[in-house]
Structure 1
Amino acid sequence: MYSEKRLLYPMKRVDFDPNGERNPQNRGISGYERISWDKALDIVAGEIRRMKKDYGPGAIAMVTGAHHQWGNINYYLSAMLRFGNLIGFTRVEPSPISWEGWYWGAMHHYGNSLRLGTPSFYGTTEDCLQHAEVIVFWSSDPESTSGVYGGFEGTERRLWAKRLGIEFVHIDPYLTHSAQFLGGKWLPIKPGTDSALAIAIMHEWMISGSYDKEYVASKTTGFDEWRAYVLGEEDGTPKTPEWQEAETGVPAKDVRSLAQLWASKKTYLAAGGLGAGFGGACRTETGAQWARSVVMMMAMQGWGKPGINFGNLQIGAPQDLNFYFPGYAEGGISGDLNNTASAANNYCRMPHIITINPVKQSVPRQRLAEAIVEGHAEGYAWDGFSIEGQFAEYSYPRPGYSRIHMLYRYGSSSFGTTPGSNRLVEAYRHSSLEFIVNQSIWMENEAQFADIILPACTALERDDISEWANCGGYIQHAQSQLNHRVVTMQHKCIEPLGESKSDYQIFLDILTRLGYGGMFSEGGCSELAWCERMFNSTDLPKQTTWKKFLQKGYHVVPPPKDDDKPPVDMRWFAEGRPKDLPEPNPLPATYSIGFGDGLPTQSGKFEFVPSSLRRIEQIDPARPAVNRYINRASTVKQTFFPLQLVTNHPVYSFHTHADGKNSHISMIDEHRMEVGGYRYWVLRLSSRDAETRGLQRGNLVRVYNSQASVICAVDVSQLVKAGVARGNESCAELDMIETSIGLVDRGGCLNLLTPGGKMSSTADGIMPNTCWVEVEKWDSKLGKAA
């Protein structure tokens, strides 16, 4: 909160004149001067009017990072969306960048489209501790990522599992924090080849007959065709452990051992950060193949039977999920029934003015740079309402709409969290982008490209209301990461520093100038008044009063009774019963047999060969209905850039939150290492790769490819597989400096190096872990390679 990088006053870029020369080419170069709030708000309101008059409302685009300051009133899906709908704007659409391979791949086998292809977690914590004998952590490091806003309560559960004698296996290019902490067998794997390992394990199950034959016969389709591919009857190549060894680097003997262990004991699969979904192996060019493979593995072992499910004990604790309190994805005060989950519950409970964005044009976040620089973009947006929704192609600009000429940038940064973010530098400086306003808390990487900066305050300087870890529609019932549901009154701790204001107040001030202030605030509602309205829309009044809640500051929702145990995910399917999970919006139309009867696939069963992909595989051969292993790594890239860069979520910061900003986290050497008085982002290399390049711990290195160069401090580690360079994504710093080889970033934005392309022609997913780089020693004094 007290960082020297706080934005405390409205600022204008020194060479930006809204009535004269705008000099967009100098964004990120020229400095800023302090101006008054009146002048800043007049400029922003004036530009909104000008854009709508000169070009039409589609000329204004609004974009935000994936996460912002917590709270149901000031969150981007709440106040920002209400503001945007009232002025009209081109949506910069979010994409399922945490779900990737699950959304574009696994979903086609079994449905779960509203969860973007990932399983749910109902009842899995207790089921795992009671019945499981093995947990396989595959690209899953919960001790680093700690869920989503959830903290460390999952750590205690994993320690319980260890005390119970549950065995652990870890599959990852890095000996993760979870592997170091919990122990177990480590299988270091070449990134992007995970599906080959999965297929080889299934090969062993097939030839030994060690899979659930009754489950496969009665509850699945397409197994014979899948079997023919795996055993080599289709293409003459059996997918044996020896076959996969050449791809993955995992010894064949270890694959056979794992296959035998897995089949002989009840096994939970922790696939991805939360145990199903979220990052890692699903963020490669072959990520959809891997996610498809792991759900097929679970189907072969009787997915849903006691002790056989997805999870890593981070989420799925028993809670009273009938108690209603909205998560942030339910839209807060937005009044938006189309782009939030508000219509499901909260709008009905807290009637407020509906706000509708009349602009139907949108650009997916991954294509924003192309839309600005090239003036057009094509691709596939995400749609969670059906399996087939992802096949609808979009184009920008939409017929009859203007190109984007104004960008309203809100909240956290994208340079550190968007793959191929080097593209954004050119986009922000493009002459077609006439105005950029950034509403932010800190002067971090995105803010320095703005024409006008509006200083927002932190969550500690305003009132709000929320529930710990409750994401709402994004991850339904994600609060079950915690052992208790806790609703919090986010009391303002201090007045906003400097002249900073809450996001709600900034939006209200702009809209008041445009004549929409009364509609936005519904007659003058303060943030505290909105908090009370939201309190009254929940089940809190059944257990406490508004006055008591204000005085205490929080409320712990009582746990369910001991005999009120939640159903276990997929148990209903394994036992042939109707679906009994407490999920909202079950979408009856997606079921073929009957509502809640079977899976929402065409056959109603788990499909080893998905009907939906069968219909499009001729259009996109990289998405075959039979999940063939395709290694698409470019040998040309590997020749010039021999190291595969894997960017994981940071251990100590949450996305860009807490990084930089002079916080204590930046003082942790594992996060940022001090070299010559500057704290650099850390890159980890194996001893072999470091020795080849003459590197020792603490050396500065240039990490580079054809896209960009980033300066990091190197950590030589036995924990990294040779051939892999491992660093954190989500860097909040962008510090471009001029050197003898041109511009380099010393802030640590490794996403400047990652590819900005798609998984395949119709799968518009990110693949940052399919990234090839070279590393060389760097002499900061000379400003060039050593």
Structure 2
Amino acid sequence: VRSTYGPYAVLCHGDGHGETKMVHGPHSCQMLLMEKVGGYTQAIRNADSWEGWYWGAEHVWGEGAQGHSTDADNVLYDITQNTKMLIAIGCDLETTPWGFGGQFPTNVCYFWNDIGIKQISIAPDLNYYAAVHADKWIPILPNTDAALHLAVAYTWIDEGTYDKAYVDTHVVGFEQFRAYVMGEEDGVPKTPEWAAEKTGVSEWTIKALAREWASVPTSTIHYYGGSYIRGPYSHEPARLEVCLVGMQGMGKPGTHVYNKMADGLTQLDMPRPEILLKLDVIRSKVWSGRPLLEVTKQLIPKTQLHQAILEGSCWSWGNTSLYAHIDDQFKKYTYPIPKEEGGSEVHMIWMDNPCRSTCWNNSMESIQAYRSPKIETFVVQHPWLENDTIYADIILPVNTKLEERDFAQISSASPMNGIAIEEKAIEPLGESLSDYEAAGEVAKKLGLYDEYTDKLSIDEKIKWGYEVSGCQDAISWEELTQKGYYYIRTEDDWEKYPAGMRLFYEDPEKYPLKTPTGKLEFFSQRLADHFPDDKERPPYPKWIENGPSHDERLSSPRAKKYPLLLVSNHPRWRTHAENDDITWTREIRTCKVKGPDGYMYEPVWIHPQDAEARGIKDGDIVKLINERGTVLGAAIVWERIMPGVTYQDHGARADMISTEAGASIDRGGANNLISPANGTSQNCWGMATSGYLVDVQKVTAAEMEEWRTKFPAAFTRDYAPAAGLRYMTWIRGEE
């Protein structure tokens, strides 16, 4: 491929939530190798679970890690001391954190319950956080939070209950924002009555929320943001949320936007450790991947990969990297780059995270892209034969961290900090190698092994990690190898550090934000200058009914055919697509529902009112449908979901009945297959994987029999209800 088309004909695709390894790092080992042979095209990971913060909030409060505020130090402590009410918007702190930060957020929420901090959940579903911790659940139609936020702002302005002195000194652009909210710009006051029609939340509930919010120190809380932050136009509710907290004096005691994941993003965990781990140094020296802020000369945003392959070209504002600086959002990238610069279409894919069909946008087109005649070779390295792996030409079997010796740094969303030496629990199974070793074997064939490894053994790299960690003066190498780990003490006077934006609150001139003006920008001059005609992301946040990118409202003519809004959360019983085969959890009703045919279907929540209108009963096999395809599930009929909405978690393992373009059918419940093709909005290359139009219909016995007749192979796969799909045939290498 390289000799025919050039180095950029090889696409390297690797990122995301692989196992937490360092030397054996599961993402980017192939990139490390391909850099040694002249380069490659990089698939750039977008801000996939925090789209709204990245494309929206960052333009209000300034550049921060993944669009969040970097001022996260001691926010948890300050909330505990001073906050009277917490509002969780569109997120589930009992579900999303478990795969990344463990049960620490769960314990914190219980603690807040115990000490009497009122907790409010605003979401279409009575999710697990709302059921366990919330004092009140406010049901809201998916992707309508912007209307609710505007009505809260209207109430504060109308009743004079916002912090005028703070706004005068800490905010720019408030007058433009106020004029829009009060209807002076467009003749439509954003009253609670107006918002009630958009959101399904009564006007008196909106007024009560606004008044209580204004009367006591209040913070909003998230773990990234959940489905709230991953829908069409999600930058608008994100911007508006920051504006609302700003109107009440962001940074004052008890007043924050608190994202639990922000602890660790800036190496300032709560409470602050005595030693700050040198994460950047560790990554640059030990992690087997490329620096997070670097991108290749030719690149493709992950949200556009299927378009790039199927149509032969794409372009974007910004490279879309989750770690890119905000200024990059105003730079235009094109694929392929000019031929005179070595540009070429992609003809080979080397992937170590084969999960687009389950975890990315409009992913049915990803399957079509894999099968395109343009892709001459598709290589996957992965521990499990699942999802996109089945479309590969070559599979490199990779082992798990239980089969490897490695170095570990403990931080980022953890309540503790430290380093560890991870010993093997078992020897590698079969012929499997780590990602690092697998790419290393290819390097040997190319005569580049020394360059690939820097002539260092795995044990030498592990020791190198210790030597640059920042902990080398606190524990000797001998003691670390004997004990296995070192936890860093909490700094004795950690309480002294200002909480969140406290310094900005106290003196905005001396401690400015990372915005052009140094203040909260309700109006962004940068957006106005660079995108003067953008009606989907204007210079200040608005309600966007529809536009060139999306028409996914109940007001749409499409809603006559697809009258329900789908909310798709991070899953309760999985981490994205992993753990969908755990036998114990599959016995839980909200994990899988056994259909009349014995198949374990992904649950589809539907309100009794909507179920009755469709003749659907609890346990029936149902289908989610729209123009992009069909996804099956089994109905759970209850009032944990509001009328007009249906719910199915993302991440179920795809089990394709048909992959026909425009008529695909998935039995497994991977609803990203039918999510919108376009990005967050016309100039924002995020993805929209929740809050879009579908219908739910009962699958009849005749319809299922028709599929069995038309697609017999799909119904004869080896399948165990206790665990799901099974692949029992493989190719064994030479003895």
SS of 1:710's equivalent in the other structure is strand
Distance of aligned partners of 1:490 and 1:328 in 2 relative to their CA distance in 1, 3 Å threshold: farther
CA deviations over 1:351-372 (Å, ceiling 9, x no partner): xxxxx98x61111111111111
How far apart, in 2, do the equivalents of 1:332 and 1:417 lie? 30
Whether 1:140 aligns to 2:91 is yes
Alignment counterpart, residue 454 of structure 1, candidates 392, 396, 406 = 396
Amino acid of the residue matched to residue 140 of structure 1? C
CA deviations over 1:242-272 (Å, ceiling 9, x no partner): 01111111100011111110000000111x4
Match of 1:611 in 2: 525
Match of 1:317 in 2: 270
Distance of aligned partners of 1:543 and 1:112 in 2 relative to their CA distance in 1, 3 Å threshold: same
Whether 1:64 aligns to 2:64 is no
> Does the aligned pair in 1 maintain the 2:21–2:406 contact within 8 Å?
yes
CA deviations over 1:322-381 (Å, ceiling 9, x no partner): 4324279945546877x426xxxxxxxxxxxxxx98x61111111111111111112222
Alignment counterpart, residue 553 of structure 1, candidates 484, 490, 493 = 484
Alignment counterpart, residue 34 of structure 2, candidates 78, 84, 87 = 84
Alignment counterpart, residue 103 of structure 2, candidates 152, 159, 162 = 152
Distance of aligned partners of 1:210 and 1:437 in 2 relative to their CA distance in 1, 3 Å threshold: same
CA deviations over 1:658-680 (Å, ceiling 9, x no partner): 123x5533343321223333222
Distance of aligned partners of 1:81 and 1:550 in 2 relative to their CA distance in 1, 3 Å threshold: farther
Match of 1:674 in 2: 594
Q: How much does 1:306 deviate?
A: 0.5
> Does the aligned pair in 1 maintain the 2:11–2:43 contact within 8 Å?
yes
* TM-score when normalising by structure 1: 0.83
Percent identity, aligned pairs only? 30
> Does the aligned pair in 2 maintain the 1:445–1:735 contact within 8 Å?
no
Match of 1:708 in 2: 629
CA deviations over 1:103-147 (Å, ceiling 9, x no partner): 111111221244424454211111000000000111121011126
Match of 1:475 in 2: none
Match of 2:718 in 1: none
Matches within 5 A, 1:206-245: 206-245=157-196
Q: How much does 1:626 deviate?
A: 2.9
Alignment counterpart, residue 377 of structure 1, candidates 308, 314, 332 = 314
How far apart, in 1, do the equivalents of 2:382 and 2:74 lie? 40
Match of 2:336 in 1: 397
Unaligned runs of 5+ in 1: 1-50, 342-355, 471-477, 579-595
Distance of aligned partners of 1:333 and 1:53 in 2 relative to their CA distance in 1, 3 Å threshold: farther
Alignment counterpart, residue 245 of structure 2, candidates 298, 319, 332 = 298
Match of 2:610 in 1: 689
SS of 2:132's equivalent in the other structure is helix
> Does the aligned pair in 1 maintain the 2:354–2:387 contact within 8 Å?
no
How far apart, in 2, do the equivalents of 1:125 and 1:573 lie? 18
Amino acid of the residue matched to residue 272 of structure 2? Q
> Does the aligned pair in 2 maintain the 1:284–1:767 contact within 8 Å?
yes
CA deviations over 1:152-179 (Å, ceiling 9, x no partner): 1222221221122111111100011111
> Does the aligned pair in 1 maintain the 2:275–2:470 contact within 8 Å?
no
> Does the aligned pair in 1 maintain the 2:566–2:645 contact within 8 Å?
yes
Match of 2:226 in 1: 279
How far apart, in 1, do the equivalents of 2:69 and 2:634 lie? 36
Match of 2:128 in 1: 177
SS of 1:142's equivalent in the other structure is coil
SS of 2:427's equivalent in the other structure is coil
CA deviations over 1:612-660 (Å, ceiling 9, x no partner): 1121342322121132212114513211111111111011211122123
Match of 1:442 in 2: 384
How far apart, in 1, do the equivalents of 2:639 and 2:686 lie? 32
Distance of aligned partners of 1:539 and 1:780 in 2 relative to their CA distance in 1, 3 Å threshold: farther
Whether 1:517 aligns to 2:449 is yes
Q: How much does 1:311 deviate?
A: 2.0
Match of 2:3 in 1: 53
Whether 1:493 aligns to 2:425 is yes
Q: How much does 1:501 deviate?
A: 1.0
How far apart, in 2, do the equivalents of 1:140 and 1:328 lie? 33
> Does the aligned pair in 2 maintain the 1:77–1:332 contact within 8 Å?
no
CA RMSD of aligned residues (A): 2.4
Whether 1:368 aligns to 2:319 is no
Matches within 5 A, 1:461-610: 461-468=403-410, 470=411, 478-479=412-413, 481-482=414-415, 484-523=416-455, 525-562=456-493, 565-576=496-507, 597-610=511-524
How far apart, in 1, do the equivalents of 2:505 and 2:635 lie? 49
How far apart, in 2, do the equivalents of 1:626 and 1:563 lie? 37
CA deviations over 1:455-501 (Å, ceiling 9, x no partner): 00011111122234x3xxxxxxx33x41x224332211111111111
Distance of aligned partners of 1:286 and 1:264 in 2 relative to their CA distance in 1, 3 Å threshold: same
> Does the aligned pair in 2 maintain the 1:132–1:306 contact within 8 Å?
yes
Q: Tell me which moved more, 562-571 or 123-132.
A: 562-571
Amino acid of the residue matched to residue 757 of structure 1? N
How far apart, in 1, do the equivalents of 2:452 and 2:8 lie? 20
> Does the aligned pair in 2 maintain the 1:74–1:80 contact within 8 Å?
no
Q: How much does 1:148 deviate?
A: 5.8
SS of 2:677's equivalent in the other structure is coil
CA deviations over 1:65-88 (Å, ceiling 9, x no partner): 521121112224563432232232
Distance of aligned partners of 1:698 and 1:120 in 2 relative to their CA distance in 1, 3 Å threshold: farther
CA deviations over 1:202-228 (Å, ceiling 9, x no partner): 111111111111111111111122111
How far apart, in 1, do the equivalents of 2:703 and 2:192 lie? 50
CA deviations over 1:376-402 (Å, ceiling 9, x no partner): 112222265543320222111110111
Distance of aligned partners of 1:430 and 1:329 in 2 relative to their CA distance in 1, 3 Å threshold: farther
Amino acid of the residue matched to residue 522 of structure 1? D
How far apart, in 2, do the equivalents of 1:327 and 1:155 lie? 29
Whether 1:649 aligns to 2:570 is yes
SS of 2:604's equivalent in the other structure is strand
Alignment counterpart, residue 659 of structure 1, candidates 575, 580, 585 = 580
Distance of aligned partners of 1:136 and 1:407 in 2 relative to their CA distance in 1, 3 Å threshold: same
SS of 1:518's equivalent in the other structure is helix
Matches within 5 A, 1:259-278: 259-270=210-221, 272=222, 274=223, 277-278=224-225
How far apart, in 2, do the equivalents of 1:715 and 1:327 lie? 46
Q: How much does 1:444 deviate?
A: 0.3
Distance of aligned partners of 1:432 and 1:160 in 2 relative to their CA distance in 1, 3 Å threshold: same
How far apart, in 2, do the equivalents of 1:329 and 1:80 lie? 19
Amino acid of the residue matched to residue 305 of structure 1? K
Distance of aligned partners of 1:321 and 1:752 in 2 relative to their CA distance in 1, 3 Å threshold: farther
Amino acid of the residue matched to residue 765 of structure 1? G
Unaligned runs of 5+ in 2: 264-268, 708-735
Distance of aligned partners of 1:738 and 1:206 in 2 relative to their CA distance in 1, 3 Å threshold: closer
Amino acid of the residue matched to residue 363 of structure 2? S
SS of 2:647's equivalent in the other structure is strand
SS of 2:635's equivalent in the other structure is strand
Match of 1:39 in 2: none
> Does the aligned pair in 1 maintain the 2:358–2:650 contact within 8 Å?
yes
Distance of aligned partners of 1:427 and 1:99 in 2 relative to their CA distance in 1, 3 Å threshold: same
Match of 1:424 in 2: 366
Count of aligned pairs between the two proteins: 686
Alignment counterpart, residue 103 of structure 1, candidates 54, 60, 64 = 54
Match of 1:340 in 2: 292
Distance of aligned partners of 1:331 and 1:700 in 2 relative to their CA distance in 1, 3 Å threshold: farther
> Does the aligned pair in 1 maintain the 2:308–2:335 contact within 8 Å?
yes
How far apart, in 2, do the equivalents of 1:414 and 1:386 lie? 25
CA deviations over 1:529-586 (Å, ceiling 9, x no partner): 21111111112222222232223222211111145533211001000068xxxxxxxx
Distance of aligned partners of 1:540 and 1:489 in 2 relative to their CA distance in 1, 3 Å threshold: same
How far apart, in 1, do the equivalents of 2:494 and 2:621 lie? 59
Q: How much does 1:780 deviate?
A: 6.1
